[in-house]
């Protein structure tokens, strides 16, 4: 992978703040409307083919407080599959580290909420899931090309 292809403007503090506040706004609207607003991602590769959004709640590994983020997801039977892409940034997102420390998570889909146990897909399972995830949202492949890390795939199973 050639991480040098990542557009440098994406690493701007202004973009990081915009993403942070956009995420908070999406979470608030999603909760307020039971998912009527914010349940579909329509940016980048999802412009013509919207991707479903859930709210993932983890427990902060340092603070112990609950943290909620909107994420694209793949529903696979009872499993929910998440991608810790963070737009191809060099580091994994905070939510990923939180669920590694405490795999008990809550996921909201529209007005419905469920309790799940999260686990990191092993390399074989990740390789099996990746083509389906890219079919869901083609930009995952772009993000993978923008970073030297292997983007983790997380599988959540009902508790």
Query: Domain extents for the chain?
Result: 3-158
Q: For the segment 97-132, what is each residue's pLDDT rounded down to a tens digit?
A: 999 999 999 999 999 999 999 999 999 999 999 999
How far is the C-alpha of 102 from the C-alpha of 4, rounded, in Å?
A: 34
pLDDT, mean over the chain: 90
Task: Please tell me the predicted confidence (pLDDT) of residue 60.
Answer: 96
| CATH superfamily name and code, 3-158 | Electron Transport, Fmn-binding Protein; Chain A (2.30.110.10)
Alpha helices, DSSP H only, in 9-110? 13-32, 94-101
Count of residues making up the chain: 159
pLDDT above 90 (res 4): no
Whether 156 shows a pLDDT value over 90: the answer reads: yes
- Contact yes or no for 124/66 (Cβ under 8 A): no
Tell me the C-alpha to C-alpha distance, in Å, between residue 65 and each of 60, 62, 73, 130: 5, 8, 23, 31
Residue 38 predicted with pLDDT over 50: yes
């Amino acid at each position: 992978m050639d991480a040098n292809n990542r557009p440098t403007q994406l690493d701007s503090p202004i973009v990081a703040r915009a993403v942070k506040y956009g995420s908070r706004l999406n979470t608030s609207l999603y909760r307020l409307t039971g998912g009527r607003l914010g349940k579909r991602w329509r940016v980048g590769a999802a412009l013509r083919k919207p991707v479903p959004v859930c709210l993932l709640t983890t427990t902060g590994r340092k603070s112990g407080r609950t943290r909620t983020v909107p994420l694209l997801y793949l529903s696979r039977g009872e499993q929910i599959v998440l991608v810790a892409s963070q737009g191809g940034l060099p580091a994994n997102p905070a939510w990923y580290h939180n669920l590694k420390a405490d795999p008990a998570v809550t996921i909201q889909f529209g007005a419905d909420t469920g309790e799940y146990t999260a686990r990191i897909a092993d390399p074989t399972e990740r390789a099996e899931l990746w083509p389906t995830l890219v079919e869901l949202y083609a930009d995952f492949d772009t993000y993978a090309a923008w970073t030297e890390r292997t983007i983790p795939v997380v599988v959540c199973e009902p508790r």
